[in-house]
Each structure stands twice: as C-alpha cells, then as structure tokens.
Amino acid sequence: MQNRIMITGAGSGLGREIALRWARDGWQLAMSDVNDAGLQETLKLVREAGGEGFVQRCDVRDYSQLTAFAQACEQKLGGIDIIVNNAGVASGGFFDELSLEDWDWQIAINLMGVVKGCKAFLPLLEKSKGKIINIASMAALMQGPAMSNYNVAKAGVVALSESLLVELRQQEIGVHVVCPSFFQTNLLDSFRGPTPAMKAQVGKLLESSPISASDIAEYIHDQVARGEFMILPHEQGRMAWQLKQKNPQMLYDEMANMADKMRAKAKSGKD
C-alpha cells in the first residue's frame, strides 16, 4: 500500500494545500521548507486533517540537505511513495533588465531544486515504485513577457519531467508535471525583479485567479489518480495550450502585444 508523501515548499501556498489533501486520505507526510514557522503551521493543520508525519528544514538548492531529508524519510517512514517538488520563487523583468545573478538565483531554486529533489529521492522511489509530481507552471508552455528566467526554469521542469517519464517507465516510477496559471499564494513575497512596477503587475495576476490553491491541490490529487502526465488545473490554461499547439504564431503575436503594452505602461510610470 502506498501512503507516504514528501513535499518541498510545504510551509505555504500550494505545498501546504497538497499536504492537507493527502492528509485527508490519512497519509504520512514528510514536509520541508526554508520557512520554519510555515512548516510548523502546516504540520498542525495536517494533524487536524487526519494526517501524520514530520517536518525538516531543507533548502532545495543544497543537495546534501535533500539527501539528508531522503535519509530521514527512510528512517522515520521506512521509505517514500510520492515526492512533490513544489518549492519555488517568483521573478519578473524584461530580459535586458535581468542580471545574470537574477538568472542564477531563479535557475538554482526553480529548476535545479527539482533536479536535485528527483535525484536525491530516486533510490527510495525505485524501491517503492513510487511517483514524482513536479510543480512547473503555465509559464513553461506560454512564455509570457517579462519573465524569461522564470519561463526557462519552468520549461526545464517540464523537459525534465518528460525525460523522466520516458526513462523511468521500466522501473515503474510514475511521473506527473503540473502547470498552473497564476493563483493566490504567498509567492509574491519571494519576488525578485528589477522594478517594483513588475512586482505589482505579478501581484494583480495572482489575485485574478478564479481558482484557489486548495482547488489546485484537489485537481492534482484527482489527475494523479487517473495517471495523467501533464496536469493543467486552470480551464483557461488548458484552452490556451490547445490553441498554441494548433497555431503557435497567434500566441506569439498575442504575447508580443502584451509585451508592448507592459513596456508602454512602464514608460508612462503607471503600474
């Protein structure tokens, strides 16, 4: 029976809601984050929801912290059945404004954090014939303007997931990748970018979502049970992705118009 799940970035937002969704099924949870207070709050909520488990501070940039976390899962839970590479940060800014440090920071967390999570937990997943759930973003598929470093990191998560889907089939390890559009969480707190105006624009997009982090966790739970590889929780996202596959140029033109508007707004000093 599979009943042990590990989640990175579990101290807030989507990671917390995923923890609560699996807790309601009575799973044992291994939860990590760099936010200790957030982790303690998630643990409390998990217990109230019927789950059990432990929390461990773990920065996904540091491979040795991830291998130590995997070791703790083996010692405390006897292994792991699902890993959720969810920890992530937000960024924005036009390519000419982003520094190479902005790129390094974004790639280290949002892409290499997922690579390292998969690598550190692979031996345990081989034993359990478990599942990997990687949290990417619609940004991976749509490449919206003024967020090239985020787009590239998340596109990398999709490419990694596709690679693992193919490579790990023989070991009977399932792979899923989740591409949500914007939704309201604390993601803006981690925002890094060259201008406050860009941060305000991202804030507005987060607020605009018709669905919550809890709805998204529910959708992921359902789609993983159905064995769906590419999970797109927003209806608008599913439509946009279909459209792009049929007519990519139309989407590029749309994104270019959006970029023009954003630059014009930035020039006029409005947010």
The C-alpha atoms of residue 57 and residue 43 are separated, in whole angstroms, by 13
The C-alpha atoms of residue 125 and residue 122 are separated, in whole angstroms, by 5
Rounded alpha-carbon distances, angstroms, from residue 106 to 90, 102, 154, 245: 8, 6, 10, 27
Residue 151 touches ligand NAD, criterion: CB under 6 A: no
Residue 146 touches ligand NAD, criterion: CB under 6 A: no
| Size of site (CB under 6 A) for ligand NAD | 30
- Cβ neighbours of residue 102 closer than 8 Å, sequence gap 6 or more: 91, 93, 149, 192, 193, 194
- H or E element in which residue 48 lies: helix 36-48
**Min dist. Cβ of residue 181 to ligand NAD (A):** 6
To the query of whether residue 150 is one of the catalytic residues in this protein, the response is yes
Site for ligand NAD in 46-85 (CB under 6 A): 59-61
Burial grade of 242 (CB within 10 A; 0-12, 13-18, 19 or more): exposed
Residue 15 touches ligand NAD, criterion: CB under 6 A: yes
* Contact track, ligand NAD, 187-206, x by CB under 6 A: x-xx---------------x
- H or E element in which residue 230 lies: strand 230-231
Site for ligand NAD in 24-53 (CB under 6 A): 33-35, 38
Specify the stretch interacting with ligand NAD by CB under 6 A; choose among 75-83, 175-183, 221-229, 244-252.
175-183
- Token pair listed for 75: 């010692």
User: Quick one: which of 6, 13, 22, 130 contacts ligand NAD (CB under 6 A)?
Assistant: 13
Q: Which residues are catalytic?
A: 150
Interface residues with ligand NAD (CB under 6 A) are: 8-9, 11-15, 33-35, 38, 59-61, 86-89, 109, 135, 137, 180, 182-183, 185-187, 189-190, 206
